[in-house]
Structures are given as C-alpha cells and as structure tokens.
Chains A and B, each alone.
Chain A
Amino acid sequence: EAGVTQFPSHSVIEKGQTVTLRCDPISGHDNLYWYRRVMGKEIKFLLHFVKESKQDESGMPNNRFLAERTGGTYSTLKVQPAELEDSGVYFCASSSGLQETQYFGPGTRLLVL
C-alpha cells in the first residue's frame, strides 16, 4: 500500500511568487492534515480536512495560504504571494479515523528567496 506522497519534494521561489504544494493521502483515508516546520522550530498544525470539508483551519498563518481538497482525494496548499517567513518544510499526513494514527508524507521543502 502506497504511503502519503507529496509533490514537489523541493521548491525554490522568489518572494511574491506563487507556489502550490500537493499531497496524496493513503488511499481510503478520509482525514488529511497539513503541518509545517520552519527552521529550528517545532512542527506545527495548519489544518485538517475530513473528506473535502475543512474541519479545522485554526493553524493557517494568514490569508495568503489556501488549502483545497476537491473530491476528497488529494489536497493542494497554495501560498500566494509567498513571503520569506514561509520557508520551511510542509508536511501532509492522513489517517483513517479521527483518533487513528496520522501517517506523514516526506514533506515539501520550500525556500522563499
């Protein structure tokens, strides 16, 4: 069974540009989460989808970040326009149930110059 996959693995963009990150959860997992780790800090929660609905987006830093999960399968996280402080590793995770173990993808390393 394939794990959580994320694309791209790395992205280097200039300040002001737009970047879209993609996450494909484990097949059949209704719950999809986005987390972020900025340099040297803890991994922090961004938001949670149940199928295509946003259950909790309390961790989203600001309105430059837009997450979608059309059709309840893969999810995208768009940053527009990107700022320097958005640099970090963006992780996606999925779980079969709300309290089930979250399985993480390899992350997307974003560098904003």
Chain B
Amino acid sequence: AQKITQTQPGMFVQEKEAVTLDCTYDTSDPSYGLFWYKQPSSGEMIFLIYQGSYDQQNATEGRYSLNFQKARKSANLVISASQLGDSAMYFCAMREGSTSGTYKYIFGTGTRLKVLA
C-alpha cells in the first residue's frame, strides 16, 4: 500500500542556516506526484513545492528545494537560509494514481520545525 513516512517529529535549526526535512514514500505506481505543505500556527495549509515522478530535475521554489532520489524513494525538503517565519509544521504528501478518477493525497505525520534566533 502507498505510504508516506516522516521520521522527524521535531527539528530545530538556527536562523540563516539550511535544514533538511526527511520524507520517504512507498508506491508501486510508476506515475505519482510528491508535495510539501507548510502549516503555520494559524492553521492554513500552504502549498510549497511539487515533484513529479517523471521529472528529471529536482524541483525548486525560491528557498525551497526538493531533493528527489527516486531509487531510494525519498523526497526530502531543503529550506535554505531559514527564517523565523519558517517555524511551522511541514507535511509531505503523495498523489497516488487513480482508477476512479480521484487522485487522493496520502500524507505523512508531519515534522514540526522551530527556527531559533
């Protein structure tokens, strides 16, 4: 069965340093998508970055990059130059294939990141 694993329940990083949040996935579907969302204390889920299973290059969006290692089934999020506003819960998600016409997302349990001043 498809699954997402985030092994770090909590992480600390010093302001201005880079941090990597781990995500591994398990699927037998050759076509899938991987996503990262940020959930600050206010509650909204903010889409950060997307990586398709057939994408040859790692996705980047500003200070966010996704370290996609297909053979290892990992999709780690790298945040460069951390800012205090990056403190939040981060969720990794996978869009699984569909036979019903619905592309559900499967989520990990999340990693809570705290950026220290």
Q: Which residues of A contact B (CB under 8 A)?
A: 3, 9, 33, 35, 40-45, 48, 50, 55-56, 58-59, 89, 91, 93, 98-99, 101-107, 109
**What's the least CB distance linking B104 to chain A, in Å?**
4
On whether the beta carbons of B95 and A42 are closer than 8 Å, the reply is: no
On whether the beta carbons of B95 and A107 are closer than 8 Å, the reply is: no
B28 interface contact, C-beta 8 A: no
18 A-B Cβ contacts within 8 A? Answer: A33-B105, A40-B109, A41-B109, A42-B106, A42-B107, A42-B108, A45-B104, A45-B105, A48-B104, A55-B100, A56-B100, A56-B101, A98-B101, A99-B95, A101-B50, A102-B47, A104-B37, A107-B45
B55 interface contact, C-beta 8 A: no
**Once the chains are docked, how many angstroms separate the CA of A50 from the CA of B45?**
21
**What's the least CB distance linking A95 to chain B, in Å?**
8
**What's the least CB distance linking A30 to chain B, in Å?**
12
Tell me which residues across on chain B come within 8 A of A106, comparing CB atoms: 42-45
Q: Which residues of B contact A (CB under 8 A)?
A: 4, 33, 35, 37, 42-45, 47, 50, 91, 93, 95, 98, 100-109
Q: Closest B-chain residue to A98, C-beta based? A: B103
**Once the chains are docked, how many angstroms separate the CA of A89 from the CA of B109?**
14
Partner of A35, one of B101, B105, B109: B105
On whether the beta carbons of B43 and A9 are closer than 8 Å, the reply is: yes
**What's the least CB distance linking B61 to chain A, in Å?**
12
**What's the least CB distance linking B111 to chain A, in Å?**
13
Tell me which residues across on chain B come within 8 A of A58, comparing CB atoms: 100
A91-B45 in contact given A42-B109, A43-B91, A101-B50 (Cβ < 8 Å): yes
